[in-house]
Structure 1
Amino acid sequence: MLKSVCSFLVILLTISQLQAQNYRISLLTCDPGEELYSVFGHSAIRVTEEGTGIDLVFNYGTFDFDTSNFYLKFAQGKLDYMLSVSNYKDYLVHYRYLERAVREQELDLNPQQASHIVEFLQRNYQPANRYYRYDFFYDNCATRIRDVFEKVLGDKLEWAEVEEPSQKTFRDLIDEYVYPLPWGDLGIDLALGSVIDVRATDRETQFLPDYLETAFAKAQIVGDGPTRNLVKSQSVVLDLEPVSIAPTYFNPFFLFWAIAILAIVLTFVGFKRKRLYKGFDMTFFGILSVIGIVVVLLWFFTEHTTTKYNWNLLWAFPLHGLIGLGLWKSSWVPWLKKYLLIALIMADAAVVFWILGWQSFHPSVLPLILVVILRTNFLYYNLDRLGQRG
């Protein structure tokens, strides 16, 4: 604890000494890691004062684990991230330990521009200014850096015009990074709604550090002399192999198709033997009910902007748990048949939404949707005569 306090005081003292005009400003881009929270990479700003040897990294991607109700605030979209500052050597030690490569782009700023960047960062680091409400797509460690340079440089910063604008949606962009983590990929697609199935502009793609790095490499500074590239030079400061994530055969695609095959077999055998096999439906629709409750909470009871209009709700509905209860209570058959028909129509609508592109579902949920259609259809037509046979 004492070591952390001393380190913090040293950083504060170092920042206060940033008074000279001979600054060197760089964009640092870190390779993706193997954990879900790090799989998109990271961006930070390096500030070097050549006269004093001061060498700091300003990082907008940190948060305080000691925040009260941390996980609740994270789930509700109320967790604040903050600007932190560390020593450059410590920053590299950290990423060397994580085995993640780091690249640097030195920016071709004039002394006044570099000084204004440092002044902006100093003001942003003040306790009253350093916290911000995190948004993965629109306000994160990368977009904050872009915004710093846009605010300070104004119309002197000119992003390159793209001959072929991006055709990728926000979901396409995150899929590029999370595909090696199939369960994480599934969780993201279940949690995020149709609002991310819109095409991202080239500027909006800069929420990803790799895309921000590319945009900086193509940008120019105009209006303060001869037009010049924003990036003066670029180099690899921590040369490591990309993190390799081993594939796993225990993934949702194989698991959910196995469930679908089981449902097909049970339905065929049940039809032949005149049995419903209620235990399967009680378990299956109970799990879908839990997923639906989570979707509803994320849609209506959080501040997340990207969890709205989530049509996974059409096949994983909170009231699906009542199917199991209805199967257990034979007196509920008339009501249950009506609900089964509604559930069947909703699952069919999910397929239509998917085909029309209103929301892109995770590919592995297709067998689950098919199971909903199969079992609701089977129960609807056989519940009256087989309801007592289990």
Structure 2
Amino acid sequence: MKKIALFFLLVSLDISILQAQNYQVSLLTCDPGEELYSAFGHSAVRVKDILSGRDLVFNYGTFDFNTPNFYLKFSRGKLDYMLSVSTYQQFIDHYTYLEREVREQVLDLNPEQTARAVKFLRENYQPENRFYRYDFFYDNCATRIRDLFEVVLGDQLEWKDPGGIEEKTFRTLIDEYVYPLPWADLGIDLALGSVIDQNAKEREKQFLPDYMEAAFSRAEIVGDGPTRPLVKKQQTVLKLPPVKIPGSIFNPYVLFWLVAIIFIIITYIGFKKKRLYIGFDLALFGILSIIGIVVFLLWFFTEHTATKYNWNLLWAFPVHGCLLYGLTQKYPAQWVRKYLLFALILADAAIVFWIMGWQSFHPSILPLILVVILRTNYLYYNLERLKAAGRNVMVK
């Protein structure tokens, strides 16, 4: 029944398109949630028939969980998002349940502009048009709405960018939202490459709903009479406190510094007792190899644009797994020492890349890089000597 009702509502939009003066078009902006997928907020378009009371929300941020190979397509960047339509009340009920605030900006469009906006949305909702290839930075639920009004208004839309503002990279913009989620923040910084360390232009910042809301509040419509603000009224339609995410001592900062301290202690003890304690290195380089393989696959075997040129590979190198074989040999081959030196140089290069600003790594990985530098140094200078001397090597 709901689908039938939506069908007739959409038909009514089509029939009444020439009576656009009856419609009110608004931008809806929703506060961030506590899960990663909702941490950046959300945007949608509201179209209200003032005379009849019919009220719809057009939402570019939906996808079909029943899509074949859903998770594989998602990981490879091949998942299509779609434009969906619900009633305004359904939309508000949903965000009431999620306990996330919703704000509305009523747009000051003339009848012709309103008609073009309604027609654009109706055509986008056609089955052959409603799906699109999602890109977090350049083609998402917010940028689709920005592009809609740039098409509808053309040169009549002027973004009034503020002057003298601090430049921000795409990574910095993301960090503003995921900082309360340290593990998610780490995962994003591991997965996304140096391409997101470039400064974002003001228009590009609109991939984030909050920034698009601010841009709409500054924008003006020109050329169809006196210049006027794009937004004629702004209000909170669902007032709720911001979602609070509780902190936890179990975070990558604490864990990785604890790991570093453990490696410093076992290296000191090993130096005093003339032992290697290779078991710790097998665990370390095995985990780094797995991370490196994931980073490598995201870079070279997906369609994600933001995972390219990811220099986390310098410290989490996929081939580090070869040390699991080389270090356990009673008489290590010459390539093992050469590879340890190679791994040391890579870790040092990661520090250089970080300092030079070629890629910003997650701060919590600093102790891991220092551990790689420490252990490759120690093993390079002591591996052959201690094994040749017949010392006990503890492998855990």
TM-score category (smaller protein): over 0.9
> For 1:7 and 1:161, how far apart are their aligned partners in 2?
42
Q: Over aligned residue pairs, what C-alpha RMSD do you find?
A: 0.9
> For 1:10 and 1:362, how far apart are their aligned partners in 2?
49
CA deviation vs aligned residue, 1:51-88 (integer Å, no higher than 9, x gap) = 22110000000000000000000000000000000000
Match status 1:10 vs 2:5: yes
> For 2:4 and 2:127, how far apart are their aligned partners in 1?
14
> For 2:245 and 2:109, how far apart are their aligned partners in 1?
38
Shift >3 Å, 4+ stretches: none
Q: 1:209: how far off?
A: 0.2
Contact 1:48 1:55 in 2 (8 A): yes
SS in 1 for 2:114: helix
Structure 1 letter corresponding to 2:175: D
1:81 is aligned to: 81
2:376 is aligned to: 376
Contact 2:183 2:251 in 1 (8 A): yes
Match status 1:134 vs 2:129: no
2:385 is aligned to: 385
The alignment-based identity, stated in percent, is 68
> For 2:280 and 2:78, how far apart are their aligned partners in 1?
38
CA deviation vs aligned residue, 1:97-134 (integer Å, no higher than 9, x gap) = 00000000000001111111000000000000000000
Residue ranges of structure 2 left out of the alignment (5+ in a row): none
Match status 1:200 vs 2:200: yes
Contact 1:84 1:125 in 2 (8 A): yes
1:69 is aligned to: 69
Contact 2:289 2:317 in 1 (8 A): yes
Q: Counterparts in 2 of 1:284-323, with a 5 A limit? A: 284-323=284-323
Give the number of aligned pairs.
Answer: 385
Residue ranges of structure 1 left out of the alignment (5+ in a row): 1-5
> For 1:279 and 1:130, how far apart are their aligned partners in 2?
54
Contact 2:331 2:384 in 1 (8 A): no
SS in 2 for 1:144: helix
Q: 1:165: how far off?
A: 4.7
SS in 2 for 1:26: strand
> For 1:60 and 1:330, how far apart are their aligned partners in 2?
60
Match status 1:42 vs 2:42: yes
Contact 1:166 1:200 in 2 (8 A): no
1:57 is aligned to: 57
Structure 2 letter corresponding to 1:200: A
SS in 2 for 1:57: strand
SS in 2 for 1:141: coil
> For 1:330 and 1:293, how far apart are their aligned partners in 2?
28
Q: 1:161: how far off?
A: 3.4
1:3 is aligned to: none
Q: Counterparts in 2 of 1:36-185, with a 5 A limit? A: 36-185=36-185
Q: 1:189: how far off?
A: 0.2
1:359 is aligned to: 359
- Normalising by structure 2, we get a TM-score of 0.96
Structure 1 letter corresponding to 2:381: Y
Structure 2 letter corresponding to 1:311: W
1:189 is aligned to: 189
SS in 2 for 1:64: coil
SS in 2 for 1:291: helix
Structure 2 letter corresponding to 1:71: Y
Structure 2 letter corresponding to 1:90: Q
> For 1:212 and 1:46, how far apart are their aligned partners in 2?
15
After superposing the two structures, state which structure 1 stretch, 325-334 or 194-203, moved more.
325-334
> For 2:331 and 2:273, how far apart are their aligned partners in 1?
23
> For 1:349 and 1:179, how far apart are their aligned partners in 2?
26
Contact 1:270 1:276 in 2 (8 A): yes
- Normalising by structure 1, we get a TM-score of 0.97
